[in-house]
Amino acid sequence: MTTRTDALPTQEMTINMGPQHPSTHGVLRVILTTDGEVVTRAVPDVGYLHRGLEKIGERVTYAQFMPFTDRLDYLAAMNCNCAWAWAVEKLAKIEVPERAEYLRVIVCELNRISSHLIAFGSYTADMGAFTPFLYGIREREHVNDLFEMICGNRLTYNYARVGGVSGDAPPGFLEKTKEFLDYFEPKIDEYNNLISYNKIFVHRLANVAVIPAEEAVAYGLTGPNLRGSGVPFDLRKDEAYSVYPKFDFKVCVGTGERGTLGDCFDRYMVRINEMRESIKIVRQAVAQIPDGPVLAKVPRLFKPPVGEVYFRSECPRGETGIYLISDGSVNPFRLKIRTGSFVAMNIFEKVTKGLMIADIVAVIGSFDIILPEIDR
Protein backbone atom coordinates (compact mmCIF):
# COMPACT_ATOMS: atom_id res chain seq x y z
CA MET A 1 0.00 0.00 0.00
CA THR A 2 1.33 3.41 -0.83
CA THR A 3 1.01 6.24 1.59
CA ARG A 4 -0.01 9.56 0.23
CA THR A 5 1.55 12.63 1.68
CA ASP A 6 -0.88 15.12 0.22
CA ALA A 7 -3.84 13.59 2.01
CA LEU A 8 -6.05 15.54 4.37
CA PRO A 9 -4.26 16.09 7.67
CA THR A 10 -5.77 13.88 10.33
CA GLN A 11 -5.35 13.71 14.02
CA GLU A 12 -5.30 10.84 16.42
CA MET A 13 -8.03 10.70 18.99
CA THR A 14 -7.53 9.78 22.62
CA ILE A 15 -10.45 7.92 24.11
CA ASN A 16 -10.86 6.98 27.69
CA MET A 17 -12.28 3.49 27.89
CA GLY A 18 -13.39 2.70 31.39
CA PRO A 19 -13.28 2.50 34.34
CA GLN A 20 -17.05 2.49 33.88
CA HIS A 21 -17.25 0.71 30.58
CA PRO A 22 -19.56 -2.27 30.21
CA SER A 23 -17.02 -4.65 28.77
CA THR A 24 -13.86 -3.94 30.68
CA HIS A 25 -14.98 -6.58 33.18
CA GLY A 26 -14.92 -4.28 36.13
CA VAL A 27 -13.01 -1.10 36.68
CA LEU A 28 -10.24 -1.46 34.18
CA ARG A 29 -9.33 1.73 32.43
CA VAL A 30 -7.73 1.67 29.03
CA ILE A 31 -6.44 4.81 27.42
CA LEU A 32 -6.94 4.36 23.72
CA THR A 33 -5.23 6.35 21.05
CA THR A 34 -7.11 5.71 17.88
CA ASP A 35 -6.89 6.61 14.26
CA GLY A 36 -10.58 6.38 13.44
CA GLU A 37 -11.51 2.89 14.52
CA VAL A 38 -7.96 1.60 14.49
CA VAL A 39 -6.21 1.61 17.83
CA THR A 40 -2.64 2.79 17.64
CA ARG A 41 -1.99 2.44 21.34
CA ALA A 42 -3.94 1.05 24.24
CA VAL A 43 -2.44 1.62 27.66
CA PRO A 44 -4.10 -0.20 30.52
CA ASP A 45 -4.46 1.72 33.74
CA VAL A 46 -5.19 -0.51 36.69
CA GLY A 47 -5.54 0.12 40.38
CA TYR A 48 -9.12 1.30 40.74
CA LEU A 49 -9.89 -1.65 42.95
CA HIS A 50 -6.75 -1.63 45.02
CA ARG A 51 -7.64 -2.63 48.56
CA GLY A 52 -4.19 -3.36 49.86
CA LEU A 53 -4.82 -7.04 50.49
CA GLU A 54 -1.10 -7.61 50.92
CA LYS A 55 -0.94 -4.99 53.64
CA ILE A 56 -4.03 -6.39 55.30
CA GLY A 57 -2.37 -9.78 55.20
CA GLU A 58 0.46 -8.49 57.35
CA ARG A 59 -1.96 -7.46 60.07
CA VAL A 60 -4.25 -10.46 60.37
CA THR A 61 -3.45 -14.01 61.30
CA TYR A 62 -3.05 -16.81 58.82
CA ALA A 63 -6.55 -18.09 59.52
CA GLN A 64 -8.09 -14.65 59.41
CA PHE A 65 -6.72 -13.98 55.95
CA MET A 66 -8.85 -16.76 54.47
CA PRO A 67 -11.99 -14.63 53.98
CA PHE A 68 -9.87 -12.01 52.24
CA THR A 69 -8.80 -14.52 49.62
CA ASP A 70 -12.46 -14.76 48.67
CA ARG A 71 -12.16 -11.19 47.53
CA LEU A 72 -9.08 -11.91 45.48
CA ASP A 73 -10.96 -13.45 42.61
CA TYR A 74 -14.60 -13.47 43.47
CA LEU A 75 -15.50 -15.69 40.56
CA ALA A 76 -13.15 -18.41 41.72
CA ALA A 77 -13.03 -17.89 45.46
CA MET A 78 -12.66 -21.61 46.14
CA ASN A 79 -9.47 -21.74 44.13
CA CYS A 80 -8.06 -18.76 45.97
CA ASN A 81 -9.09 -20.19 49.35
CA CYS A 82 -7.36 -23.44 48.57
CA ALA A 83 -4.29 -21.69 47.15
CA TRP A 84 -3.88 -19.82 50.43
CA ALA A 85 -4.42 -22.95 52.47
CA TRP A 86 -1.92 -24.90 50.39
CA ALA A 87 0.64 -22.13 50.65
CA VAL A 88 0.37 -21.95 54.43
CA GLU A 89 0.44 -25.71 54.70
CA LYS A 90 3.55 -25.83 52.56
CA LEU A 91 5.14 -23.23 54.82
CA ALA A 92 4.23 -25.00 58.04
CA LYS A 93 4.50 -28.51 56.61
CA ILE A 94 1.05 -29.54 57.74
CA GLU A 95 -0.30 -32.88 56.66
CA VAL A 96 -3.83 -32.52 55.35
CA PRO A 97 -6.32 -35.39 55.64
CA GLU A 98 -6.93 -37.01 52.29
CA ARG A 99 -10.67 -36.48 52.34
CA ALA A 100 -10.11 -32.77 52.75
CA GLU A 101 -7.81 -32.73 49.73
CA TYR A 102 -10.43 -34.53 47.68
CA LEU A 103 -13.10 -32.09 48.76
CA ARG A 104 -10.80 -29.23 47.86
CA VAL A 105 -10.21 -30.64 44.42
CA ILE A 106 -13.92 -31.14 43.90
CA VAL A 107 -14.82 -27.60 44.87
CA CYS A 108 -11.87 -26.14 42.98
CA GLU A 109 -12.84 -27.86 39.78
CA LEU A 110 -16.50 -26.97 40.21
CA ASN A 111 -15.41 -23.42 40.74
CA ARG A 112 -13.27 -23.61 37.64
CA ILE A 113 -16.35 -24.66 35.71
CA SER A 114 -18.41 -21.81 37.10
CA SER A 115 -15.64 -19.32 36.49
CA HIS A 116 -15.17 -20.47 32.91
CA LEU A 117 -18.93 -20.24 32.46
CA ILE A 118 -18.74 -16.58 33.36
CA ALA A 119 -15.75 -16.17 31.10
CA PHE A 120 -17.68 -17.78 28.27
CA GLY A 121 -20.84 -15.85 29.01
CA SER A 122 -19.34 -12.44 29.43
CA TYR A 123 -17.17 -12.95 26.40
CA THR A 124 -20.12 -13.70 24.18
CA ALA A 125 -21.95 -10.76 25.69
CA ASP A 126 -18.97 -8.59 24.81
CA MET A 127 -19.22 -9.88 21.30
CA GLY A 128 -22.83 -8.77 21.14
CA ALA A 129 -24.65 -12.04 21.76
CA PHE A 130 -26.39 -11.61 25.06
CA THR A 131 -28.23 -14.90 25.20
CA PRO A 132 -25.30 -17.27 25.87
CA PHE A 133 -24.37 -15.09 28.83
CA LEU A 134 -27.64 -15.92 30.52
CA TYR A 135 -27.25 -19.59 29.70
CA GLY A 136 -23.84 -19.47 31.33
CA ILE A 137 -25.24 -17.73 34.40
CA ARG A 138 -28.02 -20.29 34.61
CA GLU A 139 -25.60 -23.19 34.77
CA ARG A 140 -23.40 -21.35 37.21
CA GLU A 141 -26.33 -21.05 39.54
CA HIS A 142 -26.31 -24.82 39.97
CA VAL A 143 -22.68 -24.68 41.04
CA ASN A 144 -23.56 -21.91 43.46
CA ASP A 145 -26.29 -24.10 44.92
CA LEU A 146 -23.76 -26.85 45.46
CA PHE A 147 -21.38 -24.47 47.17
CA GLU A 148 -24.15 -23.06 49.30
CA MET A 149 -24.83 -26.57 50.41
CA ILE A 150 -21.25 -27.38 51.34
CA CYS A 151 -20.13 -24.08 52.84
CA GLY A 152 -23.19 -21.93 53.33
CA ASN A 153 -22.45 -19.09 50.95
CA ARG A 154 -22.93 -18.46 47.29
CA LEU A 155 -20.07 -16.17 46.35
CA THR A 156 -17.53 -15.71 49.11
CA TYR A 157 -17.12 -19.25 50.25
CA ASN A 158 -14.34 -19.19 52.84
CA TYR A 159 -14.38 -22.96 52.69
CA ALA A 160 -10.79 -24.05 52.99
CA ARG A 161 -8.97 -23.89 56.30
CA VAL A 162 -5.33 -24.21 57.11
CA GLY A 163 -5.15 -27.96 57.57
CA GLY A 164 -8.29 -28.96 55.73
CA VAL A 165 -11.70 -27.63 54.98
CA SER A 166 -14.28 -26.02 57.22
CA GLY A 167 -16.78 -28.82 57.05
CA ASP A 168 -17.42 -32.19 55.55
CA ALA A 169 -19.68 -32.52 52.54
CA PRO A 170 -23.27 -32.71 53.77
CA PRO A 171 -25.21 -35.86 52.92
CA GLY A 172 -26.40 -35.74 49.33
CA PHE A 173 -23.73 -33.33 48.19
CA LEU A 174 -21.75 -35.82 46.16
CA GLU A 175 -24.90 -37.20 44.54
CA LYS A 176 -26.03 -33.71 43.64
CA THR A 177 -22.62 -32.99 42.20
CA LYS A 178 -22.91 -36.02 39.98
CA GLU A 179 -26.38 -34.94 38.93
CA PHE A 180 -25.09 -31.53 38.02
CA LEU A 181 -22.28 -32.99 35.95
CA ASP A 182 -24.69 -35.18 34.04
CA TYR A 183 -26.91 -32.20 33.42
CA PHE A 184 -24.08 -29.89 32.49
CA GLU A 185 -21.99 -32.02 30.17
CA PRO A 186 -24.33 -31.87 27.15
CA LYS A 187 -24.66 -28.12 27.61
CA ILE A 188 -21.09 -27.59 26.43
CA ASP A 189 -21.99 -28.99 23.03
CA GLU A 190 -24.97 -26.74 23.02
CA TYR A 191 -22.75 -23.72 23.64
CA ASN A 192 -20.52 -24.78 20.82
CA ASN A 193 -23.45 -25.09 18.47
CA LEU A 194 -25.02 -21.91 19.65
CA ILE A 195 -22.07 -19.60 19.52
CA SER A 196 -18.56 -21.06 19.53
CA TYR A 197 -18.55 -22.07 15.92
CA ASN A 198 -20.87 -19.35 14.75
CA LYS A 199 -19.36 -17.78 11.68
CA ILE A 200 -19.57 -14.24 12.98
CA PHE A 201 -18.14 -15.22 16.35
CA VAL A 202 -15.25 -17.11 14.78
CA HIS A 203 -14.53 -14.19 12.52
CA ARG A 204 -14.47 -11.84 15.45
CA LEU A 205 -11.94 -13.94 17.37
CA ALA A 206 -9.77 -15.74 14.86
CA ASN A 207 -6.42 -14.13 14.08
CA VAL A 208 -7.02 -11.38 16.62
CA ALA A 209 -4.25 -10.61 19.11
CA VAL A 210 -2.05 -13.55 18.24
CA ILE A 211 0.49 -14.38 20.97
CA PRO A 212 3.23 -16.79 19.87
CA ALA A 213 4.33 -19.39 22.40
CA GLU A 214 7.74 -17.85 23.19
CA GLU A 215 6.21 -14.46 23.73
CA ALA A 216 3.55 -15.88 26.00
CA VAL A 217 6.22 -17.54 28.13
CA ALA A 218 8.43 -14.47 28.20
CA TYR A 219 5.52 -12.30 29.31
CA GLY A 220 4.73 -14.80 32.01
CA LEU A 221 1.26 -15.64 30.82
CA THR A 222 -0.19 -18.61 32.62
CA GLY A 223 -3.30 -20.70 32.66
CA PRO A 224 -5.65 -20.74 29.69
CA ASN A 225 -3.92 -17.70 28.21
CA LEU A 226 -0.63 -19.58 27.98
CA ARG A 227 -2.20 -22.83 26.87
CA GLY A 228 -4.08 -20.93 24.18
CA SER A 229 -0.68 -20.26 22.65
CA GLY A 230 -0.08 -23.98 22.45
CA VAL A 231 2.16 -24.43 25.48
CA PRO A 232 1.03 -27.54 27.37
CA PHE A 233 1.74 -26.17 30.82
CA ASP A 234 -0.73 -26.83 33.58
CA LEU A 235 0.32 -26.59 37.19
CA ARG A 236 -2.10 -29.32 38.13
CA LYS A 237 0.02 -31.63 36.01
CA ASP A 238 3.43 -30.00 36.24
CA GLU A 239 3.55 -29.10 39.90
CA ALA A 240 1.32 -32.01 40.84
CA TYR A 241 0.13 -30.48 44.06
CA SER A 242 -2.66 -31.86 46.24
CA VAL A 243 -4.20 -35.08 44.90
CA TYR A 244 -4.24 -34.00 41.28
CA PRO A 245 -1.72 -36.68 40.20
CA LYS A 246 -4.34 -39.29 41.00
CA PHE A 247 -6.68 -38.07 38.31
CA ASP A 248 -6.60 -38.65 34.64
CA PHE A 249 -7.16 -35.51 32.63
CA LYS A 250 -5.86 -33.83 29.57
CA VAL A 251 -4.11 -30.47 29.38
CA CYS A 252 -6.10 -28.47 26.84
CA VAL A 253 -4.04 -26.39 24.48
CA GLY A 254 -4.89 -24.12 21.64
CA THR A 255 -4.67 -25.68 18.23
CA GLY A 256 -5.21 -22.75 15.93
CA GLU A 257 -8.23 -24.54 14.54
CA ARG A 258 -9.88 -21.45 13.09
CA GLY A 259 -6.98 -19.10 12.65
CA THR A 260 -3.47 -18.65 13.93
CA LEU A 261 -2.21 -20.48 16.99
CA GLY A 262 -2.49 -18.22 19.99
CA ASP A 263 -5.34 -16.01 18.87
CA CYS A 264 -8.39 -15.05 20.87
CA PHE A 265 -10.36 -18.00 19.57
CA ASP A 266 -7.77 -20.45 20.89
CA ARG A 267 -7.85 -18.89 24.32
CA TYR A 268 -11.61 -19.03 24.29
CA MET A 269 -11.68 -22.63 23.13
CA VAL A 270 -9.19 -23.72 25.80
CA ARG A 271 -11.66 -22.57 28.43
CA ILE A 272 -14.55 -24.39 26.84
CA ASN A 273 -12.50 -27.59 26.64
CA GLU A 274 -11.20 -27.18 30.16
CA MET A 275 -14.74 -27.36 31.46
CA ARG A 276 -14.92 -30.87 30.05
CA GLU A 277 -11.65 -31.82 31.75
CA SER A 278 -12.87 -30.39 35.03
CA ILE A 279 -15.99 -32.50 34.72
CA LYS A 280 -13.74 -35.51 34.28
CA ILE A 281 -11.72 -34.65 37.36
CA VAL A 282 -14.77 -34.07 39.53
CA ARG A 283 -16.28 -37.36 38.39
CA GLN A 284 -13.13 -39.21 39.36
CA ALA A 285 -12.79 -37.38 42.65
CA VAL A 286 -16.39 -38.09 43.60
CA ALA A 287 -15.89 -41.75 42.78
CA GLN A 288 -12.63 -42.10 44.71
CA ILE A 289 -13.20 -39.89 47.72
CA PRO A 290 -12.11 -41.69 50.89
CA ASP A 291 -13.69 -41.42 54.32
CA GLY A 292 -11.97 -39.75 57.20
CA PRO A 293 -11.52 -36.46 58.96
CA VAL A 294 -11.50 -33.22 56.99
CA LEU A 295 -9.46 -30.99 59.26
CA ALA A 296 -6.00 -31.66 60.62
CA LYS A 297 -5.13 -30.63 64.16
CA VAL A 298 -3.84 -27.13 63.88
CA PRO A 299 -3.24 -25.14 67.06
CA ARG A 300 -5.58 -22.24 67.53
CA LEU A 301 -2.71 -19.81 67.92
CA PHE A 302 -1.06 -21.02 64.78
CA LYS A 303 2.59 -20.01 64.35
CA PRO A 304 4.41 -21.40 61.36
CA PRO A 305 8.19 -21.76 61.42
CA VAL A 306 10.40 -19.03 60.05
CA GLY A 307 10.81 -19.38 56.31
CA GLU A 308 9.84 -18.27 52.86
CA VAL A 309 7.69 -20.19 50.49
CA TYR A 310 6.33 -19.67 47.03
CA PHE A 311 3.32 -21.74 46.21
CA ARG A 312 1.68 -21.68 42.81
CA SER A 313 -1.63 -23.21 42.00
CA GLU A 314 -3.69 -23.35 38.87
CA CYS A 315 -6.59 -20.95 39.17
CA PRO A 316 -9.08 -20.42 36.37
CA ARG A 317 -7.29 -17.24 35.37
CA GLY A 318 -3.83 -18.65 35.47
CA GLU A 319 -1.23 -19.21 38.09
CA THR A 320 -2.00 -17.77 41.49
CA GLY A 321 1.33 -17.71 43.22
CA ILE A 322 1.57 -16.87 46.88
CA TYR A 323 4.94 -15.74 48.13
CA LEU A 324 4.78 -16.00 51.86
CA ILE A 325 7.43 -14.91 54.33
CA SER A 326 7.02 -15.97 57.92
CA ASP A 327 8.96 -14.53 60.83
CA GLY A 328 7.53 -17.09 63.22
CA SER A 329 4.79 -14.87 64.59
CA VAL A 330 1.05 -15.30 64.17
CA ASN A 331 0.90 -12.85 61.30
CA PRO A 332 2.55 -13.27 57.93
CA PHE A 333 5.61 -11.06 57.65
CA ARG A 334 5.07 -10.36 53.98
CA LEU A 335 2.80 -11.88 51.48
CA LYS A 336 2.70 -11.26 47.79
CA ILE A 337 0.04 -12.62 45.55
CA ARG A 338 0.87 -13.03 41.93
CA THR A 339 -2.20 -13.50 39.82
CA GLY A 340 -2.89 -14.52 36.27
CA SER A 341 -4.87 -11.44 35.30
CA PHE A 342 -2.21 -9.05 36.57
CA VAL A 343 0.38 -10.62 34.32
CA ALA A 344 -2.03 -10.76 31.40
CA MET A 345 -2.48 -6.99 31.60
CA ASN A 346 1.25 -6.62 31.05
CA ILE A 347 1.08 -7.98 27.53
CA PHE A 348 -2.10 -6.08 26.75
CA GLU A 349 -0.44 -3.01 25.30
CA LYS A 350 1.74 -5.09 23.04
CA VAL A 351 -0.94 -7.28 21.52
CA THR A 352 -3.49 -4.55 20.96
CA LYS A 353 -1.39 -2.49 18.60
CA GLY A 354 -3.18 -1.95 15.30
CA LEU A 355 -6.41 -3.64 16.30
CA MET A 356 -9.84 -2.06 16.10
CA ILE A 357 -11.85 -0.79 19.03
CA ALA A 358 -14.12 -3.80 18.86
CA ASP A 359 -11.05 -6.03 19.08
CA ILE A 360 -9.93 -4.37 22.29
CA VAL A 361 -13.07 -5.71 23.85
CA ALA A 362 -12.32 -9.11 22.34
CA VAL A 363 -8.81 -9.10 23.78
CA ILE A 364 -9.93 -8.09 27.26
CA GLY A 365 -12.49 -10.86 27.20
CA SER A 366 -10.10 -13.44 25.84
CA PHE A 367 -7.71 -12.87 28.73
CA ASP A 368 -10.68 -13.30 31.04
CA ILE A 369 -9.30 -10.72 33.42
CA ILE A 370 -10.93 -9.94 36.70
CA LEU A 371 -10.11 -6.69 38.36
CA PRO A 372 -9.89 -7.55 42.06
CA GLU A 373 -7.22 -10.03 41.08
CA ILE A 374 -5.26 -7.40 39.20
CA ASP A 375 -5.49 -4.71 41.84
CA ARG A 376 -5.63 -6.89 44.94
Partner 1 sequence: MEAQAIFDMLKGKFGDAVVELQGEGFSPAFVVVAPAEMNAVARFLRDDAALSFDSLMCLSGVDYKEKFAVAYHLHSMKHRHAIGLKTMLPRENPSLPTVDDVWPAANFHEREAFDLFGIAFVGSKDLRRILLPEDWEGHPLRKDYKYPDFYHGIKV
Partner 2 sequence: MGLKAYMNDIVEAVVTTAKGMRITARYGVDPREEVTLQYPEERWEIPEGYRGFLHNDIKTCTACTMCVKTCPVDCISLESVRGADKRMVLASYDINIGRCMYCGLCVEVCPPKSLKHTSGYEMASVTRGELILHFIAEDAAEIKARVARQVAEAAAKAAEVAKAGAQAGPEAAEVPPSGTAEAAGAQASAKTAEVPFSGTKPSDVSSESAKAPVVEPKAAKEGENKE
Partner 3 sequence: MEALAISLVNAVPLLAGVPLWAVTLLLMVVVAAVILVFALTFEGVGSLVLRKVAGDIQARIGPNRVGPNGMLQFLADGVKLVLKEDLIPANADRLLFKLAPYFAFVGSFAAFVVVPFGVGLIAADLNIGIYYVMAVTSLVVIGVLLAGWSSNNKWALLGGMRAAAQIVSYEIPVGMALIPAVLIAGSLSLQDIVRSQSGLLGIFGWNLFHNPFTFFSFFLYFTAAQAETNQTPFDLPEAESELVSGYNVEYSGIRFGLFFLSEFGDMFIVATLSTACFLGGWNVPFFNAGTLPWIWGNLFSLGVFLAKAFTMVLIMMWVRWTLPRLRVDQLMRMAWKYLVPLTFVNLLGVSLWLLVFKGKGIPAMIASLFG
Q: What are phi and psi of 28, to 5 degrees?
A: -80, 140
* Residue number, 13 or 218, with CB nearest to partner 3: 13
* Residue number, 279 or 343, with CB nearest to partner 1: 343
The entry of partner 1, partner 2, partner 3, none near residue 176 (CB within 5 to 8 angstroms by kind) is: none
The entry of partner 2, partner 1, partner 3, none near residue 60 (CB within 5 to 8 angstroms by kind) is: partner 2
Q: Which residue from 47, 170, 212, 354 is in contact with partner 1, where contact means CB under 8 A?
A: 47
The entry of partner 3, partner 2, partner 1, none near residue 250 (CB within 5 to 8 angstroms by kind) is: none
> What residues are paired with 293 via a beta bridge?
none
Residues 6+ apart with CB under 8 A from 208: 259, 263, 264, 265, 355, 359, 362, 363, 366
Q: Which residue from 345, 360, 361, 371 is in contact with partner 1, where contact means CB under 8 A?
A: 345
Does residue 158 belong to the site contacting partner 2 (CB under 8 A)? yes
> What residues are paired with 356 via a beta bridge?
38
Q: Which of 34, 29, 28 is nearest to 14 (CA)?
A: 34
- 17, 116, 252, 274, 344 from 364: Cα distances, Å: 12, 15, 21, 19, 9
Distance of alpha carbon 262 from the chain centroid: 18
- x/- map, 326-345, partner 3, by CB under 8 A: --------------------
Q: Which residues of 322-342 are buried (b: 16+ CB within 10 A; e: fewer)?
A: bbbbbeeeebbeebebbbbbb
Does residue 40 belong to the site contacting partner 2 (CB under 8 A)? no
Residues 6+ apart with CB under 8 A from 245: none
Does residue 319 belong to the site contacting partner 1 (CB under 8 A)? yes
- Give the C-alpha separation, 279 to 284, whole Å: 9
Residues 6+ apart with CB under 8 A from 333: 58, 325, 326, 327
Which residues, numbered 173-232, are part of the site for partner 1 (CB under 8 A)? 214, 217-220, 231
Does residue 203 belong to the site contacting partner 3 (CB under 8 A)? yes
Does residue 240 belong to the site contacting partner 3 (CB under 8 A)? no
**Interface positions with partner 2 (CB under 8 A):** 60, 63-68, 70, 131, 138, 141, 145, 148-149, 151-153, 156, 158, 166-167, 170, 190, 193-195, 197-200, 300
**In the complex, which residues of this chain contact partner 3 (CB under 8 A)?**
13, 15, 21-23, 36-37, 124-131, 134-135, 138, 194-195, 198, 200-201, 203-204, 356-359, 361
List of residues contacting partner 1 (CB under 8 A): 46-47, 50, 52, 54-55, 90, 214, 217-220, 231, 233, 238, 305-310, 312, 319, 321, 323, 325, 334, 336, 338, 342-343, 345-347, 350, 375-376
